């Protein structure tokens, strides 16, 4: 019988966004297959989501050279016989590399890269870090190409691609969906648009606002539900003021955080992701998994999810007119929207299955340790 791999899952991010929720999900899932030790930052918002114990907390008093935290982590590595450290937040790289150097065990290091990789990493410091990393798992082909382009070849870790996935989803009860729909569209006259995710400038809410203004000027009954938490309350207040200034209080509704966003998606006619440049776009495949047509901007990893005019629509990033045009296509042709939704569901099942993602992750962890 194969012994369980001793894996340290580490994420010291103080936030509670997609990256951190993915980390928590991976921790909770891998326990069946691996001997998992969970490490988070002090005051972590995701620690309560981790079902298994123990959860070890690390305090980084120095961001760029966290020596004391690395020494503590090295002791934990040796005490538990860790074979590989799987980290998720790029700001933890220095901590993990130093801990590897200080430890007797010398575990392998694998990074799942969730964010864009915007520039060449050729400084002495970055070369030192990447020389000590064994593998980087990218979540899109676009990201993998950037990693290979920007990390010098002589210190470049092995790089693989593993798309994120979702579990097979069930349609919500029709009565529940209708209740949700009625909550925001009492007379059934509106074309409901869902935008689900953190509220921040780069998520494109202002481009949606401008597209809604175009729709209002044309007399079209578009209404958008803005679902999620703000990164900064000050930005949310500025955005709300812009909504008021544009006279769109009835067209742009802020719901705040909701416990079951897939249920709310199913009460809408379309889900959009108007981000300036999205690394992946997990919310798109979540919507596709429940049969909702999707629209996304044409930059980053989104075109690897949406095949334009086949499984959804792409619009020109930051272009409100282009976004309006895409929305209007689905509003004017429900048959087209239904066709995209059906094809999108097929793609999710074939390309973005959660179990397949987990299988590849496990295989890669084992291969890195055995290399």
Structure token pair of residue 55: 């959860």
- CA dist 24 and 44 (Å) reads 11
Q: What sign does the dihedral 100-365-76-67 (CA atoms) show?
A: positive
pLDDT at residue 62 above 80? no
5-165+353-370 is classed in which CATH architecture?
A: 3-Layer(aba) Sandwich (3.40)
CA distance 29 to 34: 9
Q: What would the two tokens of residue 253 be? A: 């509704």
Q: Which CATH number fits domain 174-351: 3.40.50.2000, 3.40.640.10, 3.30.420.10, 3.40.50.720?
A: 3.40.50.2000
- The model's pLDDT over 90-129, given as tens digits with 9 standing for 90+, comes to 999 999 999 999 999 999 999 999 888 777 888 999 999 9
Asked if residues 314 and 302 have their Cβ atoms less than 8 Å apart, the reply is: yes
If you search the block for the tokens 């809408």, which residue do you land on? Answer: 268
Specify the domain boundaries for CATH 3.40.50.2000 within the chain.
Answer: 5-165+353-370, 174-351
Cα separation of 137 and 144, whole Å? 8
pLDDT in tens, 161-179: 999 999 888 788 889 899 9
pLDDT digit string, tens, across residues 251-280: 999 998 887 888 999 999 999 999 998 989
Q: pLDDT grade, residue 18 (50/70/90)?
A: confident
CA 275/CA 250 separation, integer angstroms: 23
Q: What is the pLDDT of residue 118?
A: 75
């Amino acid at each position: 019988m194969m012994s369980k791999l001793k894996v340290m899952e580490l994420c010291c991010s103080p936030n509670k966004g997609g990256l951190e929720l993915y980390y928590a999900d991976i921790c909770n899932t891998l326990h069946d297959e691996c001997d998992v030790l969970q490490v988070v930052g002090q005051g972590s918002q995701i620690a309560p989501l981790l079902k298994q114990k123990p959860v070890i907390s690390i305090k980084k008093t120095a961001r760029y050279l966290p020596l004391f935290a690395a020494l503590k982590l090295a002791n934990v590595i040796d005490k538990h016989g860790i074979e590989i450290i799987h980290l998720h937040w790029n700001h933890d790289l220095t901590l993990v590399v130093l801990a590897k150097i200080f430890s007797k065990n010398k575990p392998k290091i694998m990074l799942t890269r969730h964010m864009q990789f915007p520039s060449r990493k050729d400084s002495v410091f970055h070369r030192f870090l990447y020389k000590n990393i064994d593998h980087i798992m990218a979540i899109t082909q676009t990201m993998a190409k950037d990693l290979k382009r920007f990390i010098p070849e002589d210190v470049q870790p092995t790089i693989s691609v593993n798309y994120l996935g979702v579990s097979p989803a069930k349609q919500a009860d029709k009565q529940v969906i209708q209740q949700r729909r009625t909550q925001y569209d009492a007379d059934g006259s509106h074309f409901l648009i869902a935008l689900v995710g953190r509220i921040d400038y780069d998520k494109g809410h202002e481009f949606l606002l401008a597209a809604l203004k175009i729709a209002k000027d044309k007399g079209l009954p578009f209404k958008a539900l803005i679902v999620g938490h703000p990164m900064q309350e000050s930005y949310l207040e500025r955005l709300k003021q812009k909504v008021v200034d544009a006279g769109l209080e009835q067209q742009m509704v802020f719901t705040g955080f909701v416990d079951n966003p897939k249920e709310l998606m199913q009460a809408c006619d379309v889900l959009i992701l108007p981000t300036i440049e999205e690394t992946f776009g997990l919310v798109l495949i979540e919507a596709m998994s429940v049969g909702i047509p999707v629209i996304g901007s044409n930059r980053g990893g989104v075109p690897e999810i949406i095949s334009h005019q086949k499984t959804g629509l792409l619009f020109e990033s930051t272009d409100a007119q282009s976004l309006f045009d895409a929305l209007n296509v689905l509003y004017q042709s429900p048959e087209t929207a239904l066709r995209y939704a059906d094809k999108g569901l097929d793609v999710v099942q074939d390309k973005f299955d959660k179990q397949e993602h987990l299988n590849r992750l496990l295989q890669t962890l084992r291969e890195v340790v055995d290399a």
